[in-house]
Amino acid sequence: MVITSKHGLEHSQGMDLLKCRHIAFPILRGTGHPWLRKLGNCLSLAKVAIRATQEIRRQRMEVVITIIQGRYYLAAALASWLTATPQIAIVHDSLDASNVGRWKLPATMRRRLTTRILKRVAHIYVVSPEMQRLVFGECGRKAEIQLPSTAMPARDADGQVYGLGRPVILFAGTVGYTVKDGLDLLANLIATGKLKEYGMPEAKLHLCTSMTDAEMQKHGWDRPGIIAKGWLSQAELARELSSADILFLPYSFSKISQEAVKTAFPSKAADYLAAGKPIVVFGPKNSSLVRYASEQGFAEIIDEFSEAALACGIQKIALSPSYREKLAARALEVFSANHDIRCQRQKFYLTLDRIICYD
């Protein structure tokens, strides 16, 4: 059984949802007084905790799994404690998780609650060695690294064969503060035609994201050469990735993103690797993404925030068939070794057996 928000469930439609019962709770987003909204959301959180507790007892559930993000993980932790049910926590983006969105807690209370929850859970998954070290430093708990994973898609053709100077560069995912500056730079390169100077007069940027036309216009991305593909299902995304020539994987260089890019890891990386296409990683040297790409050798890495550096990196892939083949082959190797969901499922089931038997 999955307990989530109505907002989250709506955004998950068309994706590979777990085949089980889903219970969705509303989030108050009205224009009323902020304190009334906060009170309403606190009451809603209490309702989630009570409902989760009831369902755990009624169905005799043996494990609670939660993601440290938003606020529902607080309800999950309370339900786990009330029912003495082992809990597995997944930490992917930040330990300051309950400061996400409109529902905010004071920083000290937020960190203290998250730390206390992580200290008592049965098992912790994290997405990077950097996050692993942070969790150990904050909570004194060892966490298991579980990189983003996906299933290997069915492979039709090898994708399109583009003429000299006509690469299709694709970005897939949510446009948030950890990718916005990199996308802005690439969009400007495409829209202004500056890639002509690098032998790519007809380069295009495809965006597979949930942005509306109004949002595209607000960002200044409704320009020539930039094509919005919309949000795609997992199967549709796999086809779109395989038809592109270069996959763009940015991580922010901005100061406000520094903590996040050091410890988090982009989930779309698994889908990119499974596509077996050349990848451009564009991010700062101290980010988890650049460190991983450097160790694994699956991408052209640009760790300097400049149009010239980005253009040269794209040029290196677009104008060299042998380099494209090398990166594509290595991407599939890294996927099979570290991101294949079949292998991660097997390890996860073993962890569940251990936790349930131990309990």
Residue linked to tokens 């991408």? 299
Q: Is 97 exposed, middle or buried (0-12, 13-18, 19+ CB in 10 A)?
A: buried
Q: Is residue 158 part of a domain?
A: no
User: What is the pLDDT, as a whole number, of residue 301?
Assistant: 98
Phi, psi of 226, rounded to the nearest 5 degrees: -110, 120
Does residue 218 sit in the same domain as residue 248? yes
Does residue 316 sit in the same domain as residue 349? no
Supply 220's token pair: 């200044």
| CATH code of residue 300 | 3.40.50.2000
Q: Is residue 156 part of a domain?
A: no
Q: By the 8 A CB rule, do 134 and 205 touch?
A: no
User: What is the pLDDT, as a whole number, of residue 106?
Assistant: 62
User: What is the pLDDT, as a whole number, of residue 161?
Assistant: 47
Q: Is residue 177 part of a domain?
A: yes
Q: Is residue 75 part of a domain?
A: yes
Report the distance separating Cα 298 and Cα 193, nearest Å: 28
User: What is the pLDDT, as a whole number, of residue 101?
Assistant: 44
Expressed as residue numbers, the domain containing 254 is 168-338
Supply 336's token pair: 């099979």
User: What is the pLDDT, as a whole number, of residue 34?
Assistant: 67
Residue linked to tokens 């892939």? 317
Does residue 212 sit in the same domain as residue 122? no
Q: By the 8 A CB rule, do 48 and 77 touch?
A: no
Supply 113's token pair: 């609650």
Q: Is residue 55 part of a domain?
A: yes
User: pTM for the whole thing?
Assistant: 0.87
Q: How many residues does the chain have?
A: 359
How many Cβ atoms from other residues are within 10 Å of residue 199's Cβ? 13
250 has which bridge partners? 282
Consecutive 10-residue runs of the chain (359 residues): their mean pLDDT? 80 71 74 66 86 94 92 92 96 66 59 91 96 94 95 66 74 93 96 94 93 91 93 89 96 92 94 96 97 98 97 96 96 96 93 85
Q: What is the DSSP string of 1-25?
A: -EEEEHHHHHHTTTS---SS-EEEE
Does residue 181 sit in the same domain as residue 313? yes
What number of helices (H) and strands (E) belong to the chain?
A: 14, 12
Query: Which residues, including other chains, have CB under 8 Å from residue 168's CB and lie 6 or more apart?
Result: 160, 162, 203, 204, 206, 243, 244, 245, 246
Report the distance separating Cα 87 and Cα 74, nearest Å: 12
Does residue 182 sit in the same domain as residue 145? no
Does residue 198 sit in the same domain as residue 128? no
Q: What is the CA radius of gyration of the chain?
A: 22
Closest Cα partner for 194 from 336, 306, 321?
A: 306
Q: Is residue 157 part of a domain?
A: no
Q: Is residue 160 part of a domain?
A: no
Does residue 21 sit in the same domain as residue 134? yes
Note the helical H segments in 161-278: 180-191, 213-219, 234-243, 258-263, 268-275
Query: Which residues, including other chains, have CB under 8 Å from residue 33's CB and lie 6 or more apart?
Result: none
Report the distance separating Cα 247 and Cα 168, nearest Å: 9
User: What is the pLDDT, as a whole number, of residue 16?
Assistant: 66
Does residue 136 sit in the same domain as residue 178? no
SS3 string of 97-117? HHHCCCCCCCHHHHHHHHHHH
Q: Is 31 exposed, middle or buried (0-12, 13-18, 19+ CB in 10 A)?
A: exposed
Q: By the 8 A CB rule, do 66 and 73 touch?
A: yes
Q: What is the DSSP string of 260-273?
A: HHHH---THHHHHH
**Total domain count, the chain:** 2
Does residue 132 sit in the same domain as residue 212? no
Does residue 185 sit in the same domain as residue 266? yes
Does residue 204 sit in the same domain as residue 110? no
Does residue 131 sit in the same domain as residue 275? no
Q: By the 8 A CB rule, do 167 and 250 touch?
A: no
User: What is the pLDDT, as a whole number, of residue 94?
Assistant: 78
DSSP 245: S
Q: Is residue 133 part of a domain?
A: yes
Query: Which residues, including other chains, have CB under 8 Å from residue 139's CB and lie 6 or more apart?
Result: 115, 118, 119
